């Protein structure tokens, strides 16, 4: 069967109305788009709303027991009609290419003292490398060389104390997750379909990334339906055009539900203030629609009133307060941003980009040539150091070289206050907050306040070297 892209999705829904359905669907790509598409898909497969309470099973991929899902899939329901199993954040398409994401989740669970879940992710990471805790014999995972770690897992060995990893794995012998990960779950699903499952049972899998070499992916491509909602998150002109097109469609569709419109010039302002965050675009559109009450058209004044006029300046002030360790100032600026309607995801994106720039700059300062010192004047930095640094380094043009030389000079001075490890930890904190904001029901303000406290712990207020 063909792979359906975003623009083909209405065609698929039309085919379902005509009775052309499948027993297995894979929806992968941008998380919000996948969840929205799965809801529309379920509405078409189960058109009677009150039947969804008895005919629909929701499974969290982070908590999934593959054997239980398979048993559900192979079991005839007590109720007549279609039975749908929807798995969000499925791990069936994991490969070494996503091992870094799994590691980050393990670290996040460990920080929250959720040791069982941290162990689960560690075992998944080992499974992606085709190994188990028993394969280390007399050595342990923390003693792996940097080269062997990267060969096994596909990403650089993390810095810092990793003894907690071995402590968790040492206690994993009798845990069900370890036994579970020894099986190739994806192949088990293929075997189940090849052997035959009840005709009324349908499986919907959601994933942010997939390895198209997986046997299960190829099986679904041939016998099921694949909906590709991946979005290029890069900074190229083509990627930005695609991102903008998606956001415009989401905003206009959201406003249409409230019988509201927005003119192109005002829409461009909204896009600039929200950034590429589909969740934020929809939520801000809903807030605007409710704010204008009986008026049909969203204006620039409405956006200024709801999303704030000085977003850029305030966001800059927030990054400055974070990296200078001024917690009280940071919390005050953060509160003002949120009171003015700036979405948490947009704030996180700014902090993430700032930490990425600081980390890159701090790494460049370790080069033997050209040599950077804190005593460099702006004139020497601009006319001597910077041209040498830019030579043969075009790959960083989007991230650094488009910054004004004086702003870059100040960024270099700021980065010198930190160790690379501290900046990496800060970036992990931001990414963990983004994950919580996208996947939990915790209030965004609590997540953001907690992030600022975490970032401004003693090790983040500056570590001169």
| pLDDT tens-place string over residues 379-412 | 888 888 888 888 766 666 556 766 777 778 888 8
Q: How far apart are CA 228 and CA 423, in angstroms?
A: 34
Q: Does residue 197 share a domain with residue 88?
A: yes
Closest to 156 in 3D by CA, of 118, 238, 100, 87: 100
pLDDT of residue 462: 47
Q: Does the global pTM surpass 0.85?
A: no
CATH number assigned to the domain comprising residue 33: 3.40.50.300
- Weakest mean pLDDT among 28-37, 318-327, 425-434: 318-327
Res. 310: pLDDT tops 50: no
Domain annotation covers residue 197: yes
Which of 171 and 445 is assigned the larger pLDDT? Answer: 445
Reported confidence tier of residue 254, pLDDT bands at 50, 70, 90: very high
Domain annotation covers residue 282: yes
Domain annotation covers residue 321: no
| Average pLDDT rounded to a whole number, residues 118-145 | 75
Domain boundary among 229, 260, 288: 229
Closest to 185 in 3D by CA, of 131, 127, 122: 127
Q: Does residue 455 share a domain with residue 360?
A: yes
Q: Does residue 259 share a domain with residue 300?
A: yes
Q: Does residue 56 share a domain with residue 100?
A: no
Strand partners, 203: 24, 85
Domain boundary among 168, 201, 229: 229
Domain annotation covers residue 422: yes
Q: Does residue 155 share a domain with residue 202?
A: no
Q: Which domain holds residue 253?
A: 237-307
Q: Does residue 15 share a domain with residue 154?
A: no
Q: In angstroms, how far is the first alpha carbon of the chain from the final one? A: 58
Burial 35-66 (b: 16+ CB within 10 A, else e): bbbbeebbeebbeeeeeeeebbeebebbebeb
| Average pLDDT rounded to a whole number, residues 118-129 | 80
Q: Does residue 290 share a domain with residue 223?
A: no
Q: For residue 452, what is the DSSP state?
A: H
**Before 370, cis peptide (omega within 30)?**
yes
Domain annotation covers residue 332: no
Domain boundary among 165, 181, 197: 181
Domain annotation covers residue 342: no
What domain count does the chain have?
Answer: 4
């Amino acid at each position: 069967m063909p792979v359906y892209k975003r623009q083909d999705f209405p065609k698929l829904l039309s085919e379902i109305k005509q009775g052309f359905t499948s027993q297995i669907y894979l929806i992968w790509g941008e998380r919000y788009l996948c969840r929205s598409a799965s809801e529309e898909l379920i509405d078409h497969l189960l058109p009677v709303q009150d039947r969804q309470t008895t005919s629909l099973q929701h499974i969290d991929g982070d908590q999934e027991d593959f054997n239980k899902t398979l048993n559900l899939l192979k079991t005839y329901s007590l109720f007549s009609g279609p039975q749908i199993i929807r798995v969000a954040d499925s791990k069936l398409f994991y490969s070494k290419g996503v091992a870094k994401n799994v590691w980050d989740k393990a670290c996040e669970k460990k920080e929250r003292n959720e040791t069982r879940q941290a162990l689960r992710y560690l075992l998944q990471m080992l499974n992606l490398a085709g190994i188990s805790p028993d394969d280390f014999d007399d050595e342990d995972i923390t003693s792996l060389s940097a080269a062997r770690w990267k060969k096994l897992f596909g990403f650089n060995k993390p810095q810092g104390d990793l003894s907690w990893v071995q402590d968790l794995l040492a206690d994993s012998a009798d845990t069900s997750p370890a036994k579970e990960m020894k099986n190739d779950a994806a192949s088990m699903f293929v075997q189940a379909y090849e052997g035959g499952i009840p005709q009324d049972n349908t499986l919907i899998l959601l994933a942010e990334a997939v390895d198209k070499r997986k046997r299960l992916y190829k099986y679904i491509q041939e016998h099921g339906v694949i909906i590709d909602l991946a979005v290029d998150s890069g900074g190229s002109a083509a990627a930005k055009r695609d991102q903008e097109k998606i956001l415009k469609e989401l905003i206009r569709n959201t406003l249409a539900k409230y019988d509201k419109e927005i003119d192109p010039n005002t829409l461009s302002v909204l896009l600039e203030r929200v950034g590429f965050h589909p969740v934020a675009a929809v939520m801000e559109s809903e807030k605007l629609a409710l704010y204008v009450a009986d008026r049909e058209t969203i204006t620039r004044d409405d956006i200024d009133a709801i999303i704030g006029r000085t977003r850029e300046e305030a966001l800059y002030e927030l990054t400055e307060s974070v990296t200078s360790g001024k917690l009280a100032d940071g919390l005050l600026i953060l509160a003002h941003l949120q009171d003015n309607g700036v979405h948490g995801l947009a704030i996180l994106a700014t902090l993430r980009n700032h930490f990425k720039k600081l980390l890159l700059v701090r790494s460049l300062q370790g080069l033997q040539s050209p040599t950077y010192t804190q005593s460099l004047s702006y004139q020497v930095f601009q006319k001597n150091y910077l041209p040498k640094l830019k030579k043969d380094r075009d790959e960083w043009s989007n991230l650094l070289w488009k910054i004004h030389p004086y702003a870059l000079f100040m960024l270099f001075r700021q980065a010198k206050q930190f160790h690379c490890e501290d900046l990496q930890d800060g970036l992990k904190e931001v990414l963990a907050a983004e994950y919580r904001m996208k996947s939990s029901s915790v209030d965004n303000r609590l997540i953001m306040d907690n992030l600022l406290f975490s970032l401004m712990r003693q090790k983040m207020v500056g570590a001169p070297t």
